[in-house]
Structure formats: C-alpha cells, structure tokens
A and B are shown apart, each in its own frame.
Chain A
Amino acid sequence: DQQVKQNSPSLSVQEGRISILNCDYTNSMFDYFLWYKKYPAEGPTFLISISSIKDKNEDGRFTVFLNKSAKHLSLHIVPSQPGDSAVYFCAAPVKGSGTYKYIFGTGTRLKVLA
C-alpha cells in the first residue's frame, strides 16, 4: 500500500521555466510533509516542508503547495536551473506508538535543460 505516491517518474524542463513536481497521499492523518532532493551517489537532502495547517510554504525559488481536500501537494521551482537536476522525493512522517516512520514516495527525476 503506497501511501505517498509520485506518479511521474521523470520530468524535463527548460532552464528558466517552472518545474512542478507532484505528490499524492492517501492517509488523511498525515499532518506534515517534506521534500528531499537527491543527487547521484549522495544521500537525500532536505529541501522544504509544509505543515497541514498551511496551504503554501515558500523558500526562495522553491514553493510547496498543499491541497488537503485533494490529498495532493506540489513542489514548484522557479526559475529552474541546471543544478536543480536531481531526484525529488516527497515524504510524510507517520507517528506510531512513540515512534516515527517516514513514508517516502518513489521519487521524480527532474532534468533541467540548459
């Protein structure tokens, strides 16, 4: 049961244009979401997060939008730069009995073309 889904395995965008990466989730109990970026041969690095009490969080060129009714979030990168080429994962923490697991999506590979 994939609770966090990234249905687009890859995306190509021209430099300077907007990149939109999508993520859908099924568990309505999720109340916090994170985006990670991963370069080849490196571990993922945290990019931006959003709490379910908000519908938007912005950090420089990166903005995450949350639509709770649709159980959908998206990451916007504008303007896109070649250095943004990486795999992007969305994730949600799930609280168990005193522990937290993070459920990750399968990732979207973004390629920004110069």
Chain B
Amino acid sequence: GAGVSQSPSNKVTEKGKDVELRCDPISGHTALYWYRQSLGQGLEFLIYFQGNSAPDKSGLPSDRFSAERTGGSVSTLTIQRTQQEDSAVYLCASSFRGGGNEQFFGPGTRLTVL
C-alpha cells in the first residue's frame, strides 16, 4: 500500500514569501504529525492532529506557522513571511490512532529560504 507522501520534495523560496507544504498520510491513520529537522539537529515536533480533536500546536515556533488537516486526511503546513532560519527538512508522519503507535514518515520537504 501507499506510504506517507509529501509535496513538494524540494522548495526554494525568497525571504518574506509564503509557502505551503502538503502531506498525504496513510489511509486510515487518524494521527498526523509535522516535524522539522534543521541542519545538525534532531527532529523538532511542530504539531499533532488526532482525529477530530483540537490539534496540539505547542511545537509551532511562531505565529507565522500554521497547519490544517482537511477531512481527517490531507494536511497542509503553511509558513508565512518565511525567514532564512525556516530552512530545514519538514517531515510528516502518520500513525494508527496515535498514542505510542509506530509512526510512518514521509520523505520530507526540503525548504530553502534564500
């Protein structure tokens, strides 16, 4: 079956522009996570969606970051007015019912802000 897919795989943008990153989770997975990995760093938690519950946004680094999950499936991470420090690989993961269940990761989107 299809795994988690993310698009685009690479995105180069100019400072100050807005970007949207897309994640298609595995069908039937109710939990969806966004992480980012900056150069030389570990995976930094950004946001967590679980079913119809309010998302856990506690990891979003600033109000320029937002995410939506439509219909309990596809998710979009939006970064407004991008800054150079936003450059990172943005990873999406999904799992069945969340909790301590194994997460399945997408290949990531490499964002470069010039």
Contact = CB atoms under 8 A, between A and B. Distances in A.
Contacts of B45: 101-104
Contacts of B98: 99-100
Chain A, interface size category, equals: 20 to 34
Contacts of A101: 45, 48, 56, 58-59
Interface string A86-113: 0001010100101111111111000000
Interface residues of B, number: 28
Nearest to B93: A43
Nearest to B91: A43
A89 B108 CA distance: 16
Interface stretch (B14-22, B76-84, B99-107): B99-107
Interface of A: 4, 6, 9, 32, 34, 36, 41-46, 49, 89, 91, 93, 96, 98-107
